């Protein structure tokens, strides 16, 4: 009977963890580019009371509960919603934007493209991290993307100012000056991974652990690539990717998990009653 208590306790623990994951999914149903997670369970050790024999007799084993085999992010595509804001970028397909903390140099990846321009023209996330890519006319220098009137062609008016910009599906940033000159200022690059499950969520829609996830270019020197190449998706300007949380599925999983939790709690109650009867035999 003690085995049943152990199994029930493990069930309560794991189903509580599963409910935590479901609750986080539901809480992020409106988070930009959020990727839902799922909990996979596996049986724990089993106590063997008799081994199988050559004559075909089956082994006699009693399981000792359940464990969490893993919590996995589901990197399926979220719906793309048009916003009309030039700095809003959505990824249609595989890949991540690369962003860098200008203060400490740490690099992260993200699917959330709700970017904006700072006072210096850098394309940044809501918490100030700079989007990475080619930031020169020759498309050779990889660094912080800056959208301004710098590095203009030799024939452009030196006094002309930037009046507008656009970002195409390959991430190329085109700038239009007040004298009518148009040129490609740079290009946003993207990163992809052979094992995105190795990425670590850092909050603020950011992921770390780039080297462990098998990035393009290898773990020692990850090299981002242009959208539409190397299996990467394309960039949709003026749009945002929505959360991929399926509420109907989450509520269905919530009901199943709640009932499983209740069943394990009932096992503990029943075992307690049986132990009480055993203790009362002497009376």
- The pLDDT tens digits of the residues spanning 45-79 come to 777 777 777 667 777 877 788 999 999 999 999 99
> In this structure, are 98 and 139 located in the same domain?
yes
Q: How far apart are CA 210 and CA 196, in angstroms?
A: 9
Identify the pLDDT of residue 87: 97
Could you tell me where the DSSP H helices lie in the chain? 2-27, 247-280
CA distance 242 to 113: 10
What's the rounded mean pLDDT across residues 185-198? Answer: 97
Of 57-71, 138-152, 235-249, the one with minimum mean pLDDT is 57-71
pTM given for the model: 0.89
How far apart CA 28 and CA 161 sit, in angstroms, is 41
Q: Is 220 found in the same domain as 234? A: yes
Q: Are residues 64 and 7 in the same domain?
A: yes
32 and 105 share a domain?
A: no
Q: Provide the pLDDT confidence category of residue 155 given band limits of 50, 70 and 90.
A: confident
Cα dihedral 209→210→212→216 (10° resolution): 170
Please indicate, yes or no, whether residues 71 and 85 belong to a single structural domain of this protein.
Answer: no
Total number of domains in the chain? 2
46 and 65 belong to one structural domain: yes
The pLDDT value recorded for residue 154 is 87
| 191 and 212, same domain (yes or no) | yes
Length of the chain: 283
Indicate whether 271 pLDDT > 90.
no
Can you point out the beta strands (E) in 45-161? Answer: 46-50, 60-63, 66-73, 80-82, 89-92, 96-100, 107-110, 116-117, 123-124, 130-134, 142-144
Q: Contact, 113 vs 88, CB < 8 A?
A: yes
Q: Which residue from 32, 48, 38 is spatially nearest to 17, judged by alpha carbons?
A: 38
Q: What is the mean pLDDT of the chain?
A: 93
pLDDT over 70 (residue 208): yes
Same domain, 116 and 235: yes
- For residues 206-224, average pLDDT: 94
In this predicted structure, what is the pLDDT of residue 45?
Answer: 75
Question: What pLDDT does residue 53 have?
Answer: 72
pLDDT score for 1:
60
Query: What's the domain range around 237?
Result: 80-241
Residue 266 has pLDDT above 90, yes or no: yes
């Amino acid at each position: 009977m003690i085995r049943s208590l152990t199994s029930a306790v493990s069930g309560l623990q794991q189903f509580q963890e599963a409910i935590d994951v479901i609750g986080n999914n539901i809480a992020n149903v409106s988070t930009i580019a959020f990727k839902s997670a799922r909990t996979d369970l596996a049986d724990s050790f089993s106590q063997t009371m008799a081994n199988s024999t050559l004559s075909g007799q089956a082994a006699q084993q009693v399981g000792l509960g359940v464990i969490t085999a893993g919590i996995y992010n589901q990197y399926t595509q979220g719906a793309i919603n048009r916003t009309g804001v030039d700095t809003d970028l959505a990824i249609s397909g595989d890949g991540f934007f690369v962003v860098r903390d200008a203060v400490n140099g740490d690099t992260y990846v993200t699917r959330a493209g709700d970017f904006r321009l700072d006072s210096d023209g850098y394309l940044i996330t809501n918490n100030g991290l700079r989007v990475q890519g080619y930031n020169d006319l020759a498309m050779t220098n990889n660094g912080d993307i800056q959208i301004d009137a710098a590095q203009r062609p030799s024939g452009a008016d030196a006094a002309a100012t930037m009046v507008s910009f656009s970002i195409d599906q390959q991430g190329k940033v085109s700038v239009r000056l007040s004298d009518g000159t148009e040129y490609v200022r740079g290009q946003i690059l993207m990163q992809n991974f052979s094992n995105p499950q190795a990425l670590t969520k850092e909050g603020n829609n950011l992921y770390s652990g780039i080297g462990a996830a098998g990035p393009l270019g290898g773990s020692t020197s990850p090299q981002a690539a242009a959208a539409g190449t190397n299996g990467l998706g394309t960039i949709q300007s003026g749009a945002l990717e929505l959360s991929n949380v399926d509420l109907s599925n989450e509520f269905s999983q919530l009901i199943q998990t709640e009932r499983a939790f209740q069943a394990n709690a009932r096992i503990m109650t029943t075992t307690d009653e049986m132990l009480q009867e055993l203790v009362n035999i002497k009376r």
